[in-house]
Amino acid sequence: MAQMRLDKFLGEMGLGTRSQVKELARKGRVAVNGQAVKKSDQKIWPGKDEVQVDGKTIPYVPWEYYLLNKPQGVVSATEDGRYPTVVDLIAEKKRKDLFPVGRLDKDTEGLLLITNDGILAHQLLSPGKHVEKTYFVRMKGALSPSACRQIQEGLVLEDGQKTLPAKLHLIRQWREGEGIWAEPVPFGEACLTIHEGKFHQVKRMFEAVGCQVVYLKRLSMGPLTLDENMEPGQYRPLTSGELAELKALEGERRTDG
Ligand code: URA
């Protein structure tokens, strides 16, 4: 770890903007290795030097990783003028620089990784890496055998983009007279696994075969799986095992080129 400016360190650890932490130092509230430091542009060694604010040690946390069950109505962004963001939901975060790895639509629920590890995020999102993502889909309309085949083999979206082959598992379908659904319109449920992340991809794949997605939830991404007992809005830090699997994936992909 290289040396870092004290104001950058305090900013990253969530103590405020650069001007706020400058003010903290100016007021004599910041100490490094027991010595009050009035100039916040001083360099420190993160993790080695002991930084205190008002006598309280600020531990250096380089990376944070959370698995969130994203609820509907929350946007996959770091800031938004109108809606709460997924980062707002992480109440225990230590750092200010967290972001979601990829996007789920505002009305989509499910697994979202929140971190500040840009290298890992880049590896997971890179289009050439084909990280698997599985979604639970509830749709209006019925999927014919030919529609299923098109989804599985790859189809052309309304803007002309072609999707890669995908795995489709039909859970249930409405069939006239069978009375599975109380609704007066045909609904179905399926699990879809894709290896890419085009804009609104799942919804557009179903639209391309005449079905409207009415509920969407991401169940897994690469080695990460949503816990069944995790309610929308709940989150937890990744386990060391999950992190090791993600890092292994990253290493594998890196050597793959
Ligand atoms: N595909 C979609 O259409 N929406 C999402 O939120 C995720 C994948």
In a shared domain, residues 81 and 103: yes
| Residue 65 pLDDT | 97
Q: Are strands 212-221 and 109-115 parallel, antiparallel or unpaired?
A: parallel
- The answer, yes or no, to whether residue 86 has pLDDT greater than 70, is yes
Q: Is the CB of 104 under 6 A from ligand 1?
A: yes
| Chain CA centroid to CA 117, Å | 12
Q: pLDDT for 136-190, tens place per residue?
A: 999 998 899 999 999 999 999 999 999 999 999 999 887 666 655 555 567 899 9
Q: Is the CB of 203 under 6 A from ligand 1?
A: yes
| Residue 195 amino acid letter | H
Is residue 173, in this structure, part of any structural domain at all? yes
Rounded to the nearest whole angstrom, what is the distance from the C-alpha of residue 181 to the centroid of ligand 1? 25
Q: pLDDT for 193-221, tens place per residue?
A: 999 999 999 999 999 999 999 999 999 99
In a shared domain, residues 30 and 51: yes
CATH of the domain at 180: 3.30.70.1560
Report which ligand 1 atom has the smallest distance to the Cα of 194: 8
Rounded to the nearest whole angstrom, what is the distance from the C-alpha of residue 42 to the centroid of ligand 1? 45
- The answer, yes or no, to whether residue 252 has pLDDT greater than 70, is no
Residue 183: CB atoms within 10 A of its CB come to: 9
In a shared domain, residues 120 and 235: yes
Q: pLDDT for 25-58, tens place per residue?
A: 999 999 999 999 999 999 999 999 999 999 999 9
In a shared domain, residues 24 and 72: no
From 69, 76, 108, mutation site for ligand 1 pocket: most ligand atoms within 8 A of C-beta: 108
| Residue 249 pLDDT | 78
Q: How many domains does the chain have?
A: 3
| Residue 23 pLDDT | 95
In eight-state DSSP terms, residue 192 is E
| Residue 141 pLDDT | 87
Q: What domain range includes position 32?
A: 4-57
Closest residue (by CA) to atom 2 of ligand 1?
200
112-139 as b/e: b if 16+ CB within 10 A: bbbbbbeebbebbeeeebebebbbbbeb
Residue 72: CB atoms within 10 A of its CB come to: 15
Model confidence, pTM: 0.86
**What's the mean pLDDT in 227-236?**
96
